[in-house]
Structure 1
Amino acid sequence: MKITDAATKKSLKASFKDGIFAGAMTGFTQEYFTPFLLLLGGTVRHVGFLSALPNLTASLGQLISAEIVTWLGSRKKTITLFVFLQAVMLIPMIGVALYKHSSPALFIAFVVLFTCFGALANPAWGSLMSDLVPTGQRGHYFGWRNKTLSFVTIGTMFAAGILLFFMKKADVYWGFALLFACAFIWRIISWYFLTKMHEPPLHSPKENHFTLFQFLARLHTSNFAQFVLFVSLMNFSVNVAAPFFNVFMLKDLKFNYLLYTVINLTATFTTYCTIARWGRHADKVGNLKIIQTTAPLIAFIPVLWIINRNTLFLIVAQVFSGFLWAGFNLCSSTFIYDAVSPEKRTRCIAYFNTLNGTALCLGAITGGFLLPVLPPLFGHKMLTLFLISSLLRICVGLTLPRKLKEVRQVEHIKSDELFFSMIGIRPMIGIERKTIRY
């Protein structure tokens, strides 16, 4: 991949440095909000709200993100403003950890604001980055970028787990305070590099402005609107169970912080190993083909937790999970960049995130209310919830993707051929066997 424009190359370098420190912040926060909430005395219902409310407020906030870009007159200003505010929200979290006796509800409120501010920057960031990266190279570029930055997240997540493991013998509250303090520093450095990016001019005539209701009215005719519906229903199905895997590990399986970190890191590490390869395949066979292949298989991830809770088996299950989610998530995001014109991209990304955030919220709330009344499966109510999530995933994953259309010229390939090429048994021409390293 060659990008020759000097301003574009400078911006992508700045964005990459931003991503390094944003990834470090993610490693110190994303998987540790739930353990800290449980430490504060949070219940399963609190965990449901911890997943639901940030997604709901973030999704509703993004309804106005396109208008904020118009009001500020710049995608870059929008990004830097909300990234800075997101960093600031880590300061009260440090205070909660030091005080030790704060209510779970107060901590959830801070996470809601933290997530919402970060989400408000996303549509503008996606629009800006898609302008900087040429159309036929997005799978390659974003696959390479995400793979490289995943390594940072893996390292910091592992470091955070080790820190909490040893701090538990002294004062684990201080351990969480250190995590949030480091995350604040990483995000401020990330914000600094974002200020160094170049913003290509964007002209958005009024005829490209449309409301969410106008967007929804096109569900029956618009390929992109149907794609958004599919991903939203998939995320609802996933999030019926997803927030409770961490609770299951810490409460039911009694994992310590180190083992909890290793299990979570396995999926992230697998993503690191495979996402660049997914990107190369996406550029050749299209994003939609990969989505159609991975979506039904994602349904079997919760089933693996039902079959066996042995630690080594769960690590294998997480390898399977990371492999599939790497392809699905990468191609879901790059499909948007291909399907939407630059003038409409900020607004479409905002509506995509709004509907998906709402679906994630409703899924978490549904799971939280179902869990107390479900019968146990193999002695655990959560396993019943995992089974429900699996059934919902397979219903969505087998039906809706088949109705979608690829938006660019690509090579045609069968799903089994794609799978064997991905794992290196029968690589496609132009996809080197050596690029898999795991």
Structure 2
Amino acid sequence: MNRLSQQQINYGLKISIIEGAFATLYTSLAGGMFLAGLALYLGANSFQIALLTAIPALVSSFSFLAGYLVHQTGTRKKLVLCTAGIGRSVYIILLPLLFTGSKLKIHFFLLLVALSGILMAIAGTVWTSWISDLVPEERRGRFFGLRNAILNVTAVFAAYGAGRGMDWLKSLGQERLGYALAFSLAVGFGLISTLLLTRQPEPEIPARSKPDLREIFVGPLKEPQFRRLTVFLAVWFLTGTLASPFYLVHLLKNLHFSFSEVAVYSMIGGVIGVGFQLFWGRAIDRFGSRPVTVLNFALVGVMPFLWLFATPHFRLPIWIDGVLNGVVWTGASLGLWNLLLDLADNPERKESYFAIYTVVTGLGAFVASLLAGTIAQLISGFHLQLFGADFYNYDVMFLAAGVARFACLPLLLRIKEQGSKPVRYTIRALTNLALWRLNAGKDVVLQALGIKSRD
């Protein structure tokens, strides 16, 4: 491989952070609450809401084309520019769609989601291969921690500003205009992100033999640790994401959150996540990806249960969930990402590792979304009063997802990572660090108050 100079690498990493910020602006305006809100505006039912998650998950199987296309083109940069550029631009077609009275609007909308998903699945897989070669292995934890922290800040301001703007337009009876503006801006930010990628240097791809289809599909699965990771991901995304299509819809529809309040919920996790991206990044470099991933996935299992206790008049569980989003989902995502990069160490199969990861997680989420959508639609009239609380169809999905997440943990524990510290050692070290910082903070407060510590 043609080695880039240190100056080129540092420049490329800076570009990656700036590009990621604009990509986050695109995602904030063309996904999340705006995608779910637009689906509701177009008259989507529970099953069609579930399809919003299911369709991108299903079309993720197209990521297997990445390895073949990279071999055919000989470049990852041009392939990413083409697929990401078009994939982020297709939502401009929504503009005339919003101003028509066709009953088929929701079907065209879902078709656009599928088209964008296909292109972005290929772009994401190739980009992952590209960035994994660009970032030095010893800097991965800190770099992705810093990058994700900056992206979190961007997402916080984007979500809050866009949410407030959307609420204002809704109050004026201009909800349709709000969605038109949101998706137009999203396309603009997406194009800027794509243009910035033209400035990011690409390490030369090492000479490879012509890819064999069997090797593309099953080669990485011959490696025991990657195979164990694949099994865990398949089971976790098949069962642990059963409630994923309904969180935002539950906030908007059943808990009567405004777009601004949904933005505040997102902001809580985003703001807290800024610090914890850096914290978990350093922890990964110190203890390894595996223990950080295991610890955080264990805590992620608690989160769906919180939603069972939320009501329109008692929103504390939602705010606690927002805090945990910033603390433990940050660690789970960053840890899993770095664990994948650590295990995907064969340059001959680079794109195959990431394609399998994308397809397995995508198909798992697809089946889970279809199953969840079908169940939610079948029990749409479900209503249970227990201990003075009301439970509805979405609560059944939250309960199932929480139980499933804990049941998946033994599969994650089977994965081994060379050089990583034991999970128990990591927990003890992090606990001691937390206690030391709390004690130091206590002394600072006591000194400020003029009180001497007895310790």
Corresponding residue for residue 90 of structure 1: 91
Shift of 1:115: 2.3
The total of aligned residue pairs comes to 421
Say yes or no: does 1:368 pair with 2:369.
no
* Partners of 1:273 and 1:369 in 2: CA distance: 39
Corresponding residue for residue 419 of structure 2: 408
Greater CA deviation, 173-182 or 376-385? 376-385
Tell me the percent identity: 22
Match of 2:200 among 197, 202, 213: 197
* Partners of 1:402 and 1:288 in 2: CA distance: 9
Say yes or no: does 1:307 pair with 2:309.
yes
* Partners of 2:339 and 2:221 in 1: CA distance: 21
In structure 2, relative to structure 1, the CA distance for the partners of 1:265 and 1:217 (3 Å cut) is: same
Say yes or no: does 1:20 pair with 2:21.
yes
CA contact (8 A) 1:215 1:225 kept: no
Amino acid at match of 1:401: L
In structure 2, relative to structure 1, the CA distance for the partners of 1:4 and 1:144 (3 Å cut) is: farther
Shift of 1:426: 4.0
Greater CA deviation, 28-37 or 232-241? 232-241
Stretches of 4+ aligned residues off by more than 6 angstroms: none
* Partners of 2:74 and 2:109 in 1: CA distance: 34
Shift of 1:233: 1.8
Amino acid at match of 2:361: N
User: What is the SS of the residue equivalent to 2:435?
Assistant: coil
* Partners of 1:329 and 1:297 in 2: CA distance: 12
Greater CA deviation, 365-374 or 143-152? 365-374
* Partners of 2:106 and 2:429 in 1: CA distance: 46
User: What is the SS of the residue equivalent to 1:239?
Assistant: coil
CA contact (8 A) 2:26 2:187 kept: yes
Corresponding residue for residue 334 of structure 1: 338
CA contact (8 A) 2:47 2:377 kept: no
For residues 212-252 of structure 1, give each alpha carbon's deviation from its aligned partner in whole angstroms, at most 9, with x where no partner exists: 5524863xx61112112212322222321011111111111
Corresponding residue for residue 179 of structure 1: 182
Amino acid at match of 2:358: N
In structure 2, relative to structure 1, the CA distance for the partners of 1:410 and 1:313 (3 Å cut) is: closer
Match of 2:357 among 334, 352, 376: 352
Q: Where in structure 2 are there 5+ consecutive unaligned residues?
A: 385-389, 438-443, 445-455
TM-score (norm: length of structure 1): 0.90
* Partners of 2:292 and 2:257 in 1: CA distance: 34
Greater CA deviation, 300-309 or 256-265? 256-265
TM-score (norm: length of structure 2): 0.87
Shift of 1:28: 1.1
In structure 2, relative to structure 1, the CA distance for the partners of 1:10 and 1:217 (3 Å cut) is: closer
Corresponding residue for residue 75 of structure 1: 76
* Partners of 1:200 and 1:119 in 2: CA distance: 21
* Partners of 1:379 and 1:130 in 2: CA distance: 45
For residues 191-220 of structure 1, give each alpha carbon's deviation from its aligned partner in whole angstroms, at most 9, with x where no partner exists: 1110112111111523875545524863xx
Q: Where in structure 1 are there 5+ consecutive unaligned residues?
A: 428-433
Shift of 1:412: 6.8
Amino acid at match of 1:172: E
For residues 50-98 of structure 1, give each alpha carbon's deviation from its aligned partner in whole angstroms, at most 9, with x where no partner exists: 11011111x2110111111111110111111111111221211233234
Match of 2:44 among 39, 42, 45: 42
CA contact (8 A) 1:143 1:276 kept: yes
Match of 1:425 among 419, 435, 439: 435
Shift of 1:316: 1.5
Amino acid at match of 1:425: L
Amino acid at match of 1:416: I
Match of 2:123 among 121, 126, 134: 121
